Amino acid sequence: LQQISNLLYIQHDSIYASAVRAMAASHGKNTDHYEVIATTGNIADIMAQSDNHEIPEEIKQGFDKALAERKSVQINNAFFGYFVTKQGNEHLLYVCPGNNLSQLELHLLEIYSNNVAIALENRNLHQEIEATQRELIYRLGEAVEKRSKETGGHVQRVALISELLARKYGLDDIQATNIKLASPLHDIGKIAIPDRILNKPGALEPAEWETMKTHAHVGYEMLNSSNKPLLELAATIAREHHENWDGSGYPNGLCGESIQIAGRITALADVFDALGSRRCYKEPWSLQQIEQEIRKLSGSKFDPKLVDILLRDLDEFAAFRRLHPD
């Protein structure tokens, strides 16, 4: 918006907005309003001082006219552009250059606004696709959880605990968010485990335990064929969240930092939450019991640095169970 203002020597305020059409339930009248996307000049300060951060009335009236006529209009020296995308989304542009715009300048504004509308639509579509992927990952994780008759909030809590561990470990926002989004699929391979083993109330026989351990590799194989970064990360987590710091884990006996950080983080988050949850083979542990067990396993099962982070802020991590109970 600033670039087009500079190009046309527009020194005054400008607004780019999208229209949100609505219908008043009681009167059957349009109650359209506008979502401001960008501004230049002092208009943002003026809007901030209004009661509801509203667009000034004279500008809103111009938008209303353009929206009603479904075309760009000029009122005095102000230009109110109207643009509709292929998806039917309506966008509006207000500029007030202080003098009448030439046909060339109007044409440039039309081109600019149409391009911005297309770019915004592409961005929104991309965000919707990503949101759908995130939702599907959670749903898949929950489906596995329900099949193994585990507690309802485990997947969500593991995701939140993993994200917080990642941030406190020093990973950046993107890395921490991706671990949060991918970790719900850590046990996806359990869909290949027979119910008689998955839900057995007592200890597993050696042969049954060997079958149970295959879920890590199965989960990896299920997800690894994707070229999507989030699912590739989920594949790594599925494969490595049962590896132990001292090399005694499975499926590949990795140790130390040869286990990727996402796997080490999810391993700790998974056990921390599972110990406090009811399972077919155990009752939930107290927070004190969990703390003692995690401390005992530091340096053998878990990355000691991650354990230090969790125990240092134990109450903060434990709060996720209160916020998202079973």
The one catalytic residue in 86, 190, 213, 296 is 190
**What's the one-letter identity of residue 139?**
R
Judge whether 241 and 215 are in contact, CB under 8 Å: no
- DSSP letter at 188 equals G
Order of all β-strands in the sheet with 78-84? 33-40, 14-20, 90-95, 78-84, 73-75
Tokens at 315, concatenated? 């109450």
Residue 288 is inside which H or E element, if any?
A: helix 287-296
The reply to whether 60 belongs to the active site is: no
Please state whether the peptide bond connecting residue 184 to the residue before it is cis, i.e. omega within 30 degrees of 0. Answer: no
**What's the one-letter identity of residue 47?**
M
Alpha carbons 168 and 281: distance in angstroms, whole number: 32
Alpha carbons 2 and 102: distance in angstroms, whole number: 19
Spell out where the chain has E strands: 14-20, 33-40, 73-75, 78-84, 90-95
Q: Which residues pair with 40 in a beta bridge?
A: 14
Contacts of 290 (CB under 8 A, 6+ apart): 272, 275, 276
Q: Which residues pair with 302 in a beta bridge?
A: 298
Tokens at 128, concatenated? 């919707």
20 phi/psi in degrees, rounded to 5: -120, 105
Contacts of 75 (CB under 8 A, 6+ apart): 62, 65
The bridge status of strand 73-75 relative to strand 78-84 is antiparallel
**What's the one-letter identity of residue 120?**
L
Which residues are catalytic, by number?
190
